[in-house]
Structure 1
Amino acid sequence: MEPTKVPSEGGLNVTLTIRLLMHGKEVGSIIGKKGETVKKMREESGARINISEGNCPERIVTITGPTDTIFKAFAMIAYKFEEDIINSMSNSQATSKPPVTLRLVVPASQCGSLIGKGGSKIKEMRESTGAQVQVAGDMLPNSTERAVTISGTPEAIIQCVKQICVVMLESPPKGATIPYRPKPASTPVIFSGGQAYTIQGQYAIPHPDQLTKLHQLAMQQTPFTPLGQTTPAFPGLDASPPASTHELTIPNDLIGCIIGRQGTKINEIRQMSGAQIKIANAMEGSSERQITITGTPANISLAQYLINARFRDVAAMWNDPSSMTTS
């Protein structure tokens, strides 16, 4: 989207749109329980924050507003990601803290200005902010945009974003920009009770090549793809779409890892997603159970993501039996 310049007293009050590319887990962190985190970010920064549809492993987060509101929103996101890193380190053996990383999506026609002649501008940004900045060599699929990756401390990232905004305002995009739209998730693989399954339609089908898929499964961050959904369910999270219902059919021996001991896991998923989740009783002679998820498209997407994340956790535990006692 092209920046628009609005004249105001004493100079220019500039409105800008910055697009970020995030994984499902990062988006979940930004949304927070029942959307509380993103609501707080919108209110405190004054920026508009929209999140693209939920059935993709990658999502686009669009931040729009006067430049000072954009900087506040970026600061809140960077500090939230740092908090997530600190929390994940307390559960692992890692000793050195990895940097916070954000991926911007920038029209390719503006990337030359970000790099500068012979790389002079990007070098200056790295040296003056202390952040690592990388501009991808290739355009993102089916678009005229490139990913710009910024890594460092939250403070370094905020300074770097300020400099990038200045460059983008001084060098508007040339010609039409085809924005990058993440593709819907590929078929997920889930694992339970020593058996791998792929999701086909609304059924989990046993997967023949189990062990080779295990690593891919444990690393997977894809939510279930809602049935027959070819158009975005919702453009952002600003509107309050009507409640809808989504059904999944899952083999009986997979249900236990979703429900958890005395229902702890399913209650956690209900609370975090804000969706109503009903698990039908086992039918005599049937090896499958029906799960009905009701709520807004955002609630449903988050519930699906959390259910799939639960399968990932179980796969990881199967891969590392020493962690079995923690669940």
Structure 2
Amino acid sequence: MNTNDANAPEGGLNVTLTIRLLMHGKEVGSIIGKKGETVKKMREESGARINISEGSCPERIVTITGPTDAIFKAFSMIALKFEEDINASMTNSTVTSKPPVTLRLVVPASQCGSLIGKGGSKIKEIRESTGAQVQVAGDMLPNSTERAVTISGTPDAIIQCVKQICVVMLESPPKGATIPYRPKPASGPIIFAGGQAFAIQGQYAIPHPDLTKLHQLAMQHTPFTPLGQTTPGFPGLDATSPTSSHELTIPNDLIGCIIGRQGSKINEIRQMSGAQIKIANASEGNGERQVTITGSPANISLAQYLINASFFW
């Protein structure tokens, strides 16, 4: 036990601990920073291991492991970075009240009882002593035995709150096996069969009414071509249909959802829609990217739908 450590929580606990955080794509981008510089600095200065789950939007798991003092330092740096982001977003905003910094912890459900306490006594004590808002979700996260614990307040209130939560977690280890929450990938594959569109989720093909409508629309508005002379992945689209272009502007922090890992998502959208899609390079000081879609009206409609859908799947 390191009694000289001023950052050690009450009771002098300084053991290795793992804390999991749930973050949106935009928050993850902020933590990673340009060319990974921000997360590298956080790792070096805190001494904690910070791992970010693979995948694209909308959610990622950030795992922080290390001695408690290293974890608190990492949390402090994350909270301060988020406050910096809030301040930056307010410079050109008409909003007068400053929103609090918010972090979402992922905690095994078996430990949430100890965190809430008898009749809510423990969570009330944490709120009052730290000044942070703490909410424990009533339901478990999908396909897991974990719950989201949302903490919001000033960076200092958040650090004090995390310290107290760590003490509770160390004093009340999880009971039984924990099934960790794994965010669903931004998109599953889609197939067209029998004039209908199906989204593939796990081992199941789920009918997708919106995509089916677009598929049927494309079939109606373009000359039917015999099988084998079609655009790959999208039967019925004739390359001789009149082509046009459509432009979209997408915020930089969401562009990764469309591109996917090593361009896998954008290639899938191109193949399925039969449209040409060009994404402009990021320009200095511009928070948005220009996306140009070229093809027949049906190609463009389907590409637009797939791009919008990629933010939610």
CA distance in 2, matches of 1:73, 1:186: 31
Shift of 1:93: 1.1
5 Å matches for 1:125-136?
125-136=126-137
5 Å matches for 1:119-268?
119-186=120-187, 223-224=257-258, 226=260, 246=264, 248=267, 249=270, 251-252=275-276, 255=278, 258-259=279-280, 265-266=281-282
Q: Deviations 1:184-226 (Å, cap 9, x if unpaired)?
A: 11479xxxxxxxxxxx99xxx9985xxxxxxxx99x9571375
Q: Is the 8 A contact 2:13 2:68 kept in 1?
A: no
Q: Using a 3 Å threshold, how does the CA distance of structure 1 residues 91 and 9 change in structure 2: closer, same or farther?
A: closer
Q: Using a 3 Å threshold, how does the CA distance of structure 1 residues 206 and 40 change in structure 2: closer, same or farther?
A: farther
Partner of 1:78: 79
Q: Using a 3 Å threshold, how does the CA distance of structure 1 residues 90 and 111 change in structure 2: closer, same or farther?
A: same
Greater gyration radius? 2
Shift of 1:89: 1.0
CA distance in 2, matches of 1:29, 1:266: 16
Paired letter, 1:74: F
Q: Using a 3 Å threshold, how does the CA distance of structure 1 residues 206 and 147 change in structure 2: closer, same or farther?
A: same
Paired letter, 2:30: S
Q: Secondary structure at the match of 1:164?
A: helix
CA distance in 1, matches of 2:114, 2:143: 22
Paired letter, 2:76: A
Could you say which structure has the greater relative contact order, defined with CA pairs below 8 angstroms and 6 or more residues apart?
A: 1
Partner of 1:20: 21
- 2:100 paired with 1:66: no
Partner of 1:299: none
Structure 1 runs of 4+ with >2 Å offset: 7-13, 205-208, 244-252, 265-269
Q: Deviations 1:26-76 (Å, cap 9, x if unpaired)?
A: 000000001000000000000000000122410000000000000000000
Q: Is the 8 A contact 1:20 1:103 kept in 2?
A: yes
Partner of 1:103: 104
Paired letter, 1:224: I
Paired letter, 1:150: I
Q: Deviations 1:160-188 (Å, cap 9, x if unpaired)?
A: 00000000000000111000000011479
CA distance in 2, matches of 1:178, 1:43: 30
CA distance in 2, matches of 1:132, 1:55: 29
Paired letter, 1:142: N
Shift of 1:92: 1.6
Paired letter, 1:53: E
* Unmatched runs of 5 consecutive residues or more in structure 2: 5-11, 190-198, 201-210, 215-249, 301-306
* Unmatched runs of 5 consecutive residues or more in structure 1: 1-6, 189-199, 209-216, 227-232, 234-243, 260-264, 273-278, 289-307, 313-327
Q: Is the 8 A contact 2:25 2:56 kept in 1?
A: no
Q: Using a 3 Å threshold, how does the CA distance of structure 1 residues 87 and 107 change in structure 2: closer, same or farther?
A: same
Q: Secondary structure at the match of 1:61?
A: strand
Q: Using a 3 Å threshold, how does the CA distance of structure 1 residues 174 and 88 change in structure 2: closer, same or farther?
A: same
Q: Is the 8 A contact 1:185 1:224 kept in 2?
A: no
Count of aligned pairs: 228
Aligned-residue sequence identity (percent) comes to: 74
